[in-house]
Chains A and B, each alone.
Chain A
Amino acid sequence: MSQNLTMSPDLGKEDWDPDVITRMIFIGPGAHVSEQEIVSEFHMLDLPLTIKNTCYGSMISGKSEDVYKAIEEIRKLDPNHIFTKERGFAPGDPRRCRGHRFGPREGFHQMEKEYRILGFVAEALVDEFKKIMDDCIENK
């Protein structure tokens, strides 16, 4: 386990910048978009961001202004099924990244548990009243 304890990361300029933030984008069960679509959409936005495709969705890192702008845009794809969360460490940081150390990332267990009820949360967020009204207007 010595690798886990003696890792001394070689940090770049961006890693020390307090304005650079990282956010994780989760796609809830039953979403109408795929991970790949989300990543392509991020690339299409043409913002200076680091984008990583992951199993649960994606991870973006960059200046806070750009990150929030990108999230606002990406939520429009499927507002009820796209969830986002802060992340302390940058993508691929050797202190957290699974590629450089043993075992799953600590936050993964948290994610795994919360993912079980994420589908219900997404359903609860669907605006039933709006849905009924839209149906009524369509069938008028």
Chain B
Amino acid sequence: MGENMVKIAVYPPNSLILADLLERRGHTPLVLQKQIRQKIKDPEIDSPPMNITEEDPIKGLKYAAIEVPSGVRGRMSIIGPIIDEAEAAIVVDGAPYGFGCIGCARTNELSIFLLRNKGIPVLELNYPTNQDETYVMVNQINEFVDSLEQTAEEE
């Protein structure tokens, strides 16, 4: 890992391609799987398959109002710490998947809104459908990471 390592939030937070591209450059992608691992290894959860407890919607209150459905707040208790920790973000719009924790459209909207409002550098892309678009996406991500490295050096 490099000296100027940046913690980058990726959206969708369980993306293979985004996380791998960032790791190749020596940065830390903040992915959902790490949060899930913390959750399932927590000895306080007594019935492991039900890894969302009644505590989670309460933790989610930090990110969403009380009127917001408990499902969104429960998800935010897992995605929220990623947003808090992020020093930069890459958001991919129109990704053709939405399973598990990221299967909730409102949570996705809220998380992307929070990332945009955080005042960190955000790269927004569209999910590629063909070869050329994929090349452009990979180049844009690499350029974005380069620019992050430069700002880190200047500081």
Q: Which residues of A contact B (CB under 8 A)?
A: 5-9, 11, 15-18, 21-22, 26, 83-89, 95, 106-107, 109-111, 113-114, 117-118, 120-121, 123-125
Contact = CB atoms under 8 A, between A and B. Distances in A.
A109 B97 contact: yes
B131 A107 contact: no
Contact of A114 (B17, B35, B138, B139): B17
A84 B20 contact: yes
B49 A83 contact: no
Looking at chain B's contact residues, is the secondary structure mostly helix, strand, loop, or mixed?
helix
A118 B14 contact: no
Contacts, number: 92
Interface residues of B, number: 37
Interface in B62-108: 95-97, 99-100
B16 to A, nearest CB: 4
Contacts of B130: 120
A117 B96 CA distance: 12
A26 B19 CA distance: 13
A110 B99 contact: yes
B43 interface: yes
B64 to A, nearest CB: 23
Nearest to A83: B20
B151 interface: no
B99 A8 contact: no
A117 B16 contact: no
B47 to A, nearest CB: 7
A114 B130 CA distance: 12
B121 interface: no
A18 B41 contact: yes
